[in-house]
Amino acid sequence: MPMFVSIDGVDGVGKTTAARLFAASRGFQYYKSPSGSFEDLRREVDKYASPIGRYAFYRLALQHDSAVITELLKTGPVVTDRYIATTYAYHMVLDPRIQEIHSEVGLLRPTFQILLSARPKVRVRRLEERRVSAMR
């Protein structure tokens, strides 16, 4: 099976930029998670759902992404922008009970997971640039 790389981290560390550059330079297919209807609903869920409800939504999105990535791998290697590690990291701090219910059963596991980090000042600048850009 072709290689599957997941680039994870919190908002503003450069996941999307790194994943796109990686895909372009290595001939990988780029995949943004969550996708499809899950991407469309994401803002509403983030705004209104409880931490457990939000985790359930993103865990279901991971199940969907896992199936889509499995199909993509039939045609070549894939790099994804956020996946299991990002989902877990975001949610376990919102509600400690999520650590007890988190499961990776049934999910395609990446060949490699890359965790990005950035200095807080860099993250804040990147998030502000993103906010200003979205307002245009």
Angle subtended by helix axes 84-92 and 51-72, to nearest 10: 180
Does 45 have pLDDT greater than 90? yes
Q: What is the pLDDT of residue 1?
A: 76
Per-residue pLDDT, 107: 97
pLDDT of 11 higher than 80 = yes
∠ CA 102-78-133, nearest 5°, is: 80
Mean pLDDT within 56-61: 96
Mean pLDDT of 82-107: 92
Distance CA 14, CA 77 (A): 21
pLDDT tens digits for range 72-85: 999 999 999 999 99
Does pTM top 0.85 for this prediction?
yes
d(CA 30, CA 84): 16
Query: Which pLDDT band, with edges at 50, 70 and 90, does 135 fall under?
Result: confident
Q: Is the pLDDT of residue 136 over 80?
A: no
